[in-house]
Amino acid sequence: MGEQKRASDAIADSASAGKLKSEAYFQEKDLWGFIHRSFTKSMGYTEEDIRKPVIGICNTFSELNKCHSHFNELVDYVKRGVWQAGGVPMEFPTISIGEPYVKPTTMLLRNLMAMDTEEMMKAHPIDGVVLIGGCDKTVPAQLMAAASANIPAIVLTGGPMLNGRLGGRSLGACTDCYGFTLEHKAGNITDEELAVAENAICRSDGHCMVMGTASTMASIAEAIGMALPGCAAIPAPDSRRRHMSENTGKQIVELVRHNIRPRDIMTREAIENAITVTMASGGSTNAIIHLVAISQRLGMKLPLETFDAISAKTPFILNLRPSGQYQMEEYFEAGGVPALMKELEPLLHGECLTVTGRTVSENLQHARTYLRDVIRTMEEPLDSQGGIAVLRGNLAPDGALIKQTAVSAHLKKHTGRAVVFESPADLNARIDDPELDVDENSVLVLKNAGPKGAPAMPEIGQIPIPQKLLKKGVRDMVRISDARISGTSYGALIVHAAPEAAVGGTLALVRDGDEIELDIAERRLVLRVSDEELAERRKSWKPPEPHYDRGYGLLFHERVLQANLGCDFDFLLPPELRKEYKERIED
């Protein structure tokens, strides 16, 4: 143990002295240097190889993650780029979390993936790392890890699927997944027709091809400066995705040579650029949680007011589903994120450094828009404000979110009586009960679906329309929860209500028949119940029993922060933020 500790100390001293981390492993003449060289050479690497910069390639391939099923091919092209640039690639795995399969929700495992990635980055003799992700929680987990480990890093996303096609119509996962199953539930399509749609909607490798969370986070990785320009929108099967992979491998070697690290790139101004792009894109509400978590790993608080202030001055100009008409394939043809950022350039911090080694403004010099109906100008936007609005009021004192660009016009200002479901299980049991006292003006309220209550805040905020209303033609209602929604969701969905019901937020006190007021323009979400009555109700409230009594689930329950604080674990924050948040954490 003493020898191993001295080796660890030597590695730390080497890094602080500005030497490559791998040099301390492979060029020392002591016992551990001998062991490192011997074991590495046994895998086919030569003496010449181990004197070059060592590049870790974080491969999150998994056959249990559809969005990552093609990553082994991308890794081969990354390795080619690393070799060409004079580095030595070494591939390593971390956990891989795919939305369609992981239960109860991938959000339970985002922090675990971030911890896994961070520790792998810090523990091994790598001088820089290529982080390959795609599905919703993988890219934010990798960016959180990069912020904490702070060794040279670059993100390579796997790309969106090609558009689904059926009967001459473009389909998008999972926006049309909701649509087909809703119409099937209403009795408008048969089992056979549903099966045909299942086979038509996902017709290539890649993640969801609408502006869902995966596409939003890929765009954020590019907008924040951690991915090469143009990376986000290239379809997964397109040969240019291979070219992007090779170029990413080349560029990480340059980042190592110039010692450009994530904290040099992910500054407060870069975070604001990412928010601007998200708002202009009609991006996923999940981006708010992830950007807050990434910012806090960097030691920066990111209040919800920042998102609302940027949304208010950022026009919605990207005509992509679920808020618009087109999908990622057309976005790529229109010029992708660089073209969108070029339109938004007056609103961006152009001086921010990126993984190219150049600034945002330098990267955008030759960007242009090729399909004007896909990427609008700021002078002729789809909407004058960005996609996401932050709501405040006694029902969500710490904020709630709504994707305002996906809300039916007649529900943007609405007052209705609450129909309350105490838990996801209660919702599933009663939502289609013919005797449920509900009409199209009601406000559906789901409790105990937040970080601690659900558990882990699953994407169930798109509360189903009751079947009896579906049959009457109702397709949207105001729905409120402390859950999340998929970025592919649409409708008047108020989510991330904080504090959540399970910790005694006002949401826990709502009863059937209470009036609830929504006014998106005024950013209001109000429960029309007096403070005195709420205080009386609180006397009889009891927190629900935890879902876990051991293991990682119990760790998550005990240490997860609320939605407005990014749902990270308290102990993963930098010490200065841990101290500041201590009072909230204990509450």
State how far the Cα of 147 lies from the Cα of 264, in Å rounded to an integer: 10
Instruction: Tell me whether residue 404 is in a domain.
Output: yes
- Cis status of the peptide bond prior to 67, with omega within 30 of 0: no
183 and 88, same domain (yes or no): no
> Order of strands, edge to edge, in the sheet holding 153-157?
88-93, 54-59, 128-133, 153-157
pLDDT of 493 over the 80 cut: yes
- Cβ contact 142:133 at 8 Å: yes
How sure is the predictor about 11, in pLDDT bands with cuts at 50, 70 and 90?
very low
Q: Are 121 and 56 in contact (CB under 8 A)?
A: yes
CB of 278 closer than 8 Å to CB of 232: no
CATH code assigned at 267: 3.40.50.2300
Whether residue 574 sits in one domain with residue 427: no
Write the pLDDT tens digit of every residue in 275-295. Answer: 999 999 999 999 999 999 999
Write out the H or E segment, with its range, that includes residue 149: helix 138-149
Encoded tokens for 261: 């690290």
> Percent of the chain, pLDDT > 70?
96
Is residue 91 located within the same domain as residue 65?
A: yes
**pLDDT average, residue stretch 79-104:** 97
Section 2-28 average pLDDT: 64
Return the structure tokens found at 51. 């004197």
| 8 A C-beta contact, residue 352 and residue 293 | no
417 and 356 within one domain: no
Q: Are 137 and 130 in contact (CB under 8 A)?
A: no
Residues 566 and 501 in one domain: no
DSSP string, 480-536: EESS---TT--SSEEE--SS-GGGT-GGGG--TT-EEEEETTTTEEEE-S-HHHHHH
Question: Mean pLDDT, to the nearest integer, of 220-226?
Answer: 98
Q: How many CB atoms lie within 10 A of CB 89?
A: 21
C-alpha distances (whole Å) from 219 to each of 111, 123, 195, 281, 386 are: 21, 29, 32, 9, 15
Residues 6+ apart with CB under 8 A from 521: 412, 413
Q: Tell me the longest C-alpha to C-alpha distance in the chain.
A: 79
Residue 39 lies in a domain: no
pLDDT tens for residues 433-474? 999 999 999 999 999 999 999 999 999 999 999 999 999 999
Q: Label residue 2 by pLDDT band (50, 70, 90).
A: very low
Kindly state the tokens that stand for 520. 């998106």
Q: Which DSSP symbol is given to 408? A: -
The C-alpha atoms of residue 181 and residue 164 are separated, in whole angstroms, by: 16
Q: Kindly state the tokens that stand for 131.
A: 């982080």
With respect to residue 43, please indicate whether it lies within any of the assigned structural domains.
no
- The C-alpha atoms of residue 566 and residue 114 are separated, in whole angstroms, by 13
**Residue 377 located in a structural domain:** no
Per-residue pLDDT of 31-75, as tens digits, reads: 999 999 999 999 999 999 999 999 999 999 999 999 999 999 999
Closest CA to 219 of 230, 206, 208: 230
Please say whether the beta carbons of 134 and 161 come within 8 A: no
Together in a domain, 187 and 312: no
Within a domain: 370: no
Helix and strand numbers, DSSP H then E, in the chain? 22, 14
Domain limits for position 439:
394-540
* Selection from 526, 450, 528 nearest residue 495 by Cα: 450
Shortest CA distance to 212 belongs to which of 66, 43, 403?
403
Q: How many CB atoms lie within 10 A of CB 299?
A: 13
Both 496 and 437 in one domain: the answer is: yes
Q: With 80 as the cut, is the pLDDT of residue 4 above it?
A: no
pLDDT tops 80 at residue 5: no
Last-in-domain residue among 364, 379, 405: 364
pLDDT of residue 1: 42
What local confidence, expressed as pLDDT, does residue 487 receive? 83
In a domain, 167, yes or no: no
pLDDT of residue 511: 98
Q: pLDDT value at position 46?
A: 97
Domain CATH code at residue 477: 3.50.30.80
Whole-number Cα distances in Å, 185 to 44, 407, 464, 467, 490: 58, 22, 10, 7, 17
| Structure confidence at residue 364 as a pLDDT band (50, 70, 90) | very high
Residue 3 above 70 pLDDT? Answer: no
**Do 330 and 221 lie in a common domain?**
yes
What span, in angstroms and rounded, lies between the C-alpha atoms of 577 and 587?
A: 16
pLDDT at 321: 94
Residue for token pair 């299942």: 198
Q: What is the pLDDT of residue 581?
A: 83
In this predicted model, what pLDDT tens digit does every residue of 310-342 receive, in sequence order? Answer: 999 999 999 999 999 999 999 999 999 999 999
Residues 321 and 400 in one domain: no
Q: Report d(CA 471, CA 464) in Å as an integer.
A: 13
- Confidence band of 586 (pLDDT split at 50, 70, 90): low
Pairwise CA distance, residues 97 & 168, whole Å: 33
Q: Which residues pair with 55 in a beta bridge?
A: 89, 128
Q: Is residue 14, in this structure, part of any structural domain at all? A: no
What is the number of structural domains in the chain? 4
Q: State the pLDDT at residue 19.
A: 83
29 is a domain residue: no
Contact 56, 78 (CB under 8 A): no
The two tokens of residue 163 are: 């558009």
From the number of C-beta atoms within 10 Å of its C-beta (0-12, 13-18, 19+), residue 200 rates as middle
Q: Reduced to 3 states, what is the DSSP secondary structure of residue 540?
A: coil
Helices in 155-267 by DSSP H: which ranges? 175-185, 191-201, 213-223, 239-257, 262-265
- In a shared domain, residues 138 and 182: no
* Beta bridge partner(s), residue 481: 446
Digit-coded pLDDT (tens) for 527-584: 999 999 999 999 999 999 999 999 999 999 999 999 999 999 999 999 989 888 876 5
- Reference 292, options 390, 396, 395, 149; nearest CA is 390
Residues 224 and 179 in one domain: no
Name 517's bridge partners. 415, 526
Global confidence as pTM: 0.94
Q: What is the mean pLDDT of the chain?
A: 95
The C-alpha angle with vertex 407 and arms to 325 and 175, in degrees rounded to 5, equals 50
Q: Are residues 294 and 419 in the same domain?
A: no
